Each structure stands twice: as structure tokens, then as C-alpha cells.
Amino acid sequence: MDGVRLSIVVPVKDEVDNLWPLVEACRAGLGELYRRAEIILVDDGSTDGSLARMQELAAEDAAVRWVQFERNCGQSAALDAGFKAARGELVAMIDADLQNDPADLPAMVAVIDAGECDCVCGIRQKRMDSWVRRISSRIGNGTRNWLTHETIKDVGCSIRVFRRELVAKIKMFKGMHRFLPTLLRLEGARIEQIPVRHHPRTRGKTKYGIHNRLWSGLRDIFAVRWMQARHIDYRIKAQSEPREQSH
């Protein structure tokens, strides 16, 4: 495919029943944009047949590509691999569980095309999650923003779009996918946030767990805070031009 406009990166861990509906949702939701889009499915050590389903989809639709890990490496690694494989001018990220809606992507792309920003983050409206998950998310969101001096309203929302040249500058670490807007801002990105839809999970099992994210989340926050404090930021005012040396 030449002239790819949008690369949609999808980390996949045991989501075999969601993959076909996800591709269908992208095809329907993107409209004409789908003609210049690619979907990069990254298999993060699935054991439920997800890889075989990815390969079937790629055989049927030239817009679908797949990447397979040797073992489970985590969501940040899956996103990093997808970002590196992306060919689009813009890169989107979205989870495979269909709780976020690919139909929101054209509006997010339009915000960037209008020249207003370099990264668009979603803000989930009418969240279809349990009250425990909503409360823990609100607490986690507030803590991250407080410690990193950020203003991201919905850090946990997985649907985002950004310019590929900016995300290419970022060195990913475990857990860093939750802080992508902050890391992009360090590279000079302008961030916008818009409302997006949210749906209940109807297939597969959630990988979300309060206890398995609490301590790792705090560690990640302090790692990002360190990056912010040690970030090198300079602009060259002037410099001499190189000259041929005489011998």
C-alpha cells in the first residue's frame, strides 16, 4: 500500500474473538480514510489462537498486517513494535477489546489536520466500566497528573492519534504507554483532548487489575518525573558554517 495516511497499532493478548469485529469496526468507522489506512496487530504472546486469526485477516485484507512476539512482553513493547512498523504519516493506538470505537479516529485525525496539535487524546464519555474500575481510574489519573504536572483528563483512555515523526523520538520502557502524551510533550508536541465513545467489553477477559498496577504504576510515575526533571531542552541561536580545511 503506497501513501499510507494512518497506521492503527493494536496490541493483542488473547483477543481472538474481538479481532474480526475490530477490523470490521475500523472498515466501517473510518469510511474513505480506510483506503489509506493500515491496521498493525501485534501479538503479545497470545495462547488462544489470536495469531492464526490475525493471519487470516491479513490474507483477506491488504490493510491488515501482523507482528508476532516470541513471548509475552507487555503492552508498551507491543505498542513500540507497532510504532516502528508503522508507515503512516499519523499513528493511532487503540486496544483490541472494542471498548474504544474506531469511528472516533476520523475526528481525531481532523483535529491534527487542522493544525491545532500534534497529538489527540480521547476522553471517554459515559464509561461502561464497573464503579470500582472507574473510581480507581479517577484516583490514578489524578495522582499521575499531580506528580507529573500534567493536565490529561483521561490518562487511561487507550485511543490516541499522533504524528509518527514525534513518536519515533521516544524511547519506550515498560509501563510508558500510559504516559505517552507526557513523553510526546517533552518532544515539543502540542496536545489536544476530545470526547470519545466508550462501550462495554462483550468478548474476552479484561487484563486490567487494580493490585497488579498499583505499585508498578507508582514506580512508572516517578520514572517519568525523573525524565521530566532531567530532560535536555535547548535551541541553537546561531552557529558557524563548516569550511573546507586547507592541507
Domains of the chain and any CATH numbers: 6-230 (3.90.550.10)
Label residues 210-227 b or e (16+ Cβ within 10 Å = b): eeebeeeeeebbeebbeb
Is residue 173 within 8 Å of 146, Cβ to Cβ?
no
Q: How far is CA 186 from CA 59, 153, 182, 210, 232, in A?
A: 39, 18, 6, 28, 9
Q: Phi first, then psi: what are they for 103, rounded to 5°?
A: -65, -15
Which parts of 123-179 fold into alpha helices (H)?
A: 131-148, 164-167
pTM above 0.75?
A: yes
pLDDT in tens, the chain (247 residues): 458 999 999 999 999 999 999 999 999 999 999 999 999 999 999 999 999 999 999 999 999 999 999 999 999 999 999 999 999 999 999 999 999 999 999 999 999 999 889 999 999 887 655 555 555 556 565 556 555 566 677 877 889 999 999 998 888 777 777 778 888 888 888 999 999 998 877 776 665 555 555 556 666 776 667 666 776 676 778 787 888 876 6
What stretch of H or E contains 163? strand 160-163
